[in-house]
Amino acid sequence: MISLEEAYKIVLSHVPRVQSEQIRFEESVGRVLAVPIVAGRDLPPFDRVAMDGIAIRFDSFSQGKRVYEIVGTIAAGDPISVVSESDVAIEIMTGAPLPSGVDTVIRYEDLKIEEGRANILVEDIHEGQNIHHCGKDNKAGDILIPAGHRIRPTDISMLASEGLETVEVRKPPSFGIVSSGDELVPVAQIPQPHQIRISNVYAIQALLYDYHPTVTLYHLKDDKEHIRTNLTKAFRDHEVIILVGGVSKGKFDFIPEVLEEMGAVKHFHGVAQRPGKPFWFGQLREKAIFALPGNPVSSMVGTTRYVLPWLRKAIGLNPDFSFPVVLGEEIEFRPKLTRLVEAAVEVDEKGTCIANPQIGHGSGDFTRLVFSRGFLELPAEPTLFEKGEIYRFWKTDGYPLQAQASNRM
């Protein structure tokens, strides 16, 4: 049995190089850019007016002129024009291109306009004011968004402004998520007293959702030939297999044996952690295999702590998405294993993230997950963890953290 950190390093040392694909820019939020986005022209592409008002030549103002004849009006979207006279003004709207021949914009609030003449009411005027100059933000050829950047909603306008109907993004590997066990029945079926509904694979699928992989769900009976036949199909159709259940030491836990017979290479089986100790990781040729224990909390821990970092690294993101939190209450654990504890997280008035453990009744008790935001990682030693100490937290959702005054969820 190896340590959690050793298992984590082994998992991350077997990450393949993924391919890229072209997708519609409107559908790219959450995807990782495969190539940089480069400015096709200066930004802004012209001297853009930043206030509604009038445009004048500053030289005339500096020479004492305060009343200007208005010789026209320019709106946003009008072509770039020319003001040839030096002592006149042109009325101009926000977003319009500044005409050549003028260089300063004075807002309406600082004017009095009567009978086609604008009277400037303030003296605090400086040359070039209220103009967003051409190329001020970026020059043509500048990198606007680097490769490896995960596209956010605020990036979409940039993609649109550059005329990129499609963008090249890294293509996540496809996943086959496999449940096993004769005690499991479909969600829509009413279980007998000795049965339970399939649920873990749906939670794992949901954890992967933010990274946009293709996912297919499978279910295997506790029968070696059935397992072999269906695993062969799953490996043919997918680049990653997540097996849920059937990896412990039980008499009907056939999956590790079948994987070995299929030629899979075992990198390790068993990690000094709780929950999720029977975790098996290996490969069948270039295809990664994550074999997780079947208990709900264990499978969530395995996905959060190993599968997601592996996937993030594959598509070019930092695999470590944990962050520091302050322990909100004293807790004690034995034996000396790395613990991953369900916990709620909230933000106090100083902006500190406080983790409050949600102790359940073992790895089969997934009801506490409803009140948790992820897993608090506690080292194997010491066994007593004091309130106020700082530990790592692995969040299982993309929702923002809430302040203490709001719902603790």
What is the H or E stretch that residue 176 is in? strand 175-180
**What per-residue confidence (pLDDT) applies to 250?**
57
Q: Which residues, in sequence order, are CB contacts of 380 under 8 Å at separation 6+?
A: 3, 272, 336, 337, 338
| 16-47 per-position pLDDT tens digit | 989 999 999 999 999 999 999 999 999 999 99
**What per-residue confidence (pLDDT) applies to 251?**
55
Mean per-residue pLDDT for 236-246? 92
Mean per-residue pLDDT for 76-102? 96
pLDDT value at 229 more than 80: yes
Better pLDDT: 256 or 176: 176
**What per-residue confidence (pLDDT) applies to 288?**
97
In the block, tokens 């509904």 appear at 197
**What per-residue confidence (pLDDT) applies to 362?**
60
**What per-residue confidence (pLDDT) applies to 196?**
82
**What per-residue confidence (pLDDT) applies to 242?**
97
Pairing label, strands 88-92, 53-56: antiparallel
The CATH architecture one would assign to domain 20-43+144-170 is Alpha-Beta Complex (3.90)
70-79, 93-102, 267-276, 365-374, range with the lowest pLDDT: 365-374
Place 383 in a pLDDT band, splitting at 50, 70 and 90: confident
Mean per-residue pLDDT for 213-218? 96
The CB density around residue 15, as the number of other CB atoms within 10 Å, is 17
Share of the chain above pLDDT 90, in %: 78
Fold of 323-403: Beta-clip (2.40.340)
- Ordered by start, the domain boundaries in the chain are 4-18+172-314, 20-43+144-170, 48-132, 323-403
The CB density around residue 77, as the number of other CB atoms within 10 Å, is 9
Mean per-residue pLDDT for 210-217? 96
**Amino acid (1-letter code) at residue 329:** E
Mean per-residue pLDDT for 156-165? 96
Average pLDDT of the chain, as a whole number: 92
**Residues paired with 376 in a beta bridge:** 341, 393
| Pair of tokens at residue 366 | 């997934």
Considering only CA atoms, which of 308, 253, 249, 303 is closest in space to residue 275? 303
Task: For the chain, state the CA radius of gyration.
Answer: 31
**What per-residue confidence (pLDDT) applies to 141?**
97
**Residues paired with 339 in a beta bridge:** 274, 378
Better pLDDT: 187 or 13: 13
Share of the chain above pLDDT 70, in %: 95
pLDDT value at 123 more than 80: yes
The CATH architecture one would assign to domain 48-132 is Beta Complex (2.170)
97-106, 182-191, 302-311, range with the lowest pLDDT: 182-191
pTM over 0.75: yes
**What per-residue confidence (pLDDT) applies to 407?**
45
Mean per-residue pLDDT for 231-235? 94
Considering only CA atoms, which of 219, 276, 357, 310 is closest in space to residue 15? 310
The CATH architecture one would assign to domain 4-18+172-314 is 3-Layer(aba) Sandwich (3.40)
pLDDT value at 408 more than 80: no
